[in-house]
Amino acid sequence: MINWKIEPLHFREWGTDHEYLHGVKSVKVNDDNEQWCYNDGSWTVQNSEIWVEKGKPTLLITLGESWTYGEGTEVINHRFHRWDIRDRIEVTYSGKLARMIDSDLWTFGCPGNSNSGIFAGLFRILANVPRGQYSSVKVAVQMTACDRDRTELLPAGHALLPIYSEAFKHHGVPKIPLREWFTRYDEAMFSMLDAEIKKNSDLNLDVVVFKNFNKIWTDRRDYNFKIIEPSWIKFNAQYHNIDLEECFVQHPNFYSSKLRKLSMIDHLDLDFVNRDLDVWEVYCKFLKTHNDTNHSEHPTQISHALWTKFLYDQTGWRSVTHT
């Protein structure tokens, strides 16, 4: 049960009929969701979860963290409390893609969100989509860096807990190399998602998953969802003629504060770590030096538009008017 607030949308003189929200009088907003983000809890935002009901037969659900929220675009900045509902929809890939495929939209983006929080948000939303309202439900899941999960907050039985264990007893079970841990991370998350898709098969789900910072680490592609590659940041870099290599972690101290303690990892492979830190430096340089029309520390509206078209092409999702 979600305690929605009905938020009226005020007329904008400069709005055009090309906008997704053209003619929409109000939307539903829910901000009672941060306790399940499983991050450090220092972010407070508004209009994080918005449901736009236009009476369409298809629902598009988008989820993620600050990139999906629209942080860093010209008009959205949670530090300055700039989070207008129209901007949250119109400048981000969520509203643009919903317009392209002529669907209703349910978007949940929260700066600082973790992958476990994003997935928890998706599972909560899927449980709350009214049965019978939509003939199909499209879902675009934006995953973030793995070092944001606050495992101490995860509920018992969560799929990530075994790979984060610091006390696993290896009775005949071989330990794994550091690189393999990242594959296990993907597979733990993806198995959880796969199970949830099967559980909600009555919604006629079509799900895609992409990452903003990292590459997909597992080679498995036998899931009930489509994996979109490359990462959003690598996609952006291509517009600067840069072949950007994605690093494994967003916060380098993740190696010392967490990974070196995990009992399933054979040892902290310093060659691997040093190599990843070299990549991380290039990655930071890209963020600092290419904060132009295409990408700053977060995507600009142009980047959101380009990513929309990329998702549109990759998913094959079409409206009845785009056959």
User: Measured from the CB atom, is 16 or 201 closer to another protein?
Assistant: 16
Beta strand pairing call for 205-211 and 136-143: parallel
User: Measured from the CB atom, is 16 or 253 closer to another protein?
Assistant: 16
The backbone region for 102, taken as left when phi is positive above 0, alpha when psi lies in -120 to 50, beta otherwise, is: left
C-beta of 137: minimal distance to another protein in Å? Answer: 22
Rg of the chain over all Cα atoms, to the nearest angstrom? 20
Enumerate binding residues for another protein (CB under 8 A): 18, 96, 99-100, 239, 293-294, 301-302, 304-310, 312
| DSSP class of 200 | T
Q: Helices 178-199 and 270-289, interaxial angle, to 10°?
A: 70
C-beta of 60: minimal distance to another protein in Å? Answer: 14
Reference 101, options 62, 64, 148; nearest CA is 62
How far apart are the C-alpha atoms of 308 and 55, rounded to whole Å? 22
Kindly report the backbone phi and psi dihedral angles of residue 108, in degrees, each rounded to the nearest multiple of 5, phi listed first: -130, 105
User: Measured from the CB atom, is 63 or 100 closer to another protein?
Assistant: 100
User: Measured from the CB atom, is 185 or 307 closer to another protein?
Assistant: 307
Kindly report the backbone phi and psi dihedral angles of residue 212, in degrees, each rounded to the nearest multiple of 5, phi listed first: -95, -35
How far apart are the C-alpha atoms of 212 and 142, rounded to whole Å? 7
User: Measured from the CB atom, is 24 or 305 closer to another protein?
Assistant: 305
C-beta of 14: minimal distance to another protein in Å? Answer: 12
Amino acid identity of 228?
Answer: I
C-beta of 18: minimal distance to another protein in Å? Answer: 5
C-beta of 16: minimal distance to another protein in Å? Answer: 8
User: Measured from the CB atom, is 18 or 170 closer to another protein?
Assistant: 18
**Count of beta carbons in the 10 Å neighbourhood of residue 117:** 27
C-beta of 279: minimal distance to another protein in Å? Answer: 25
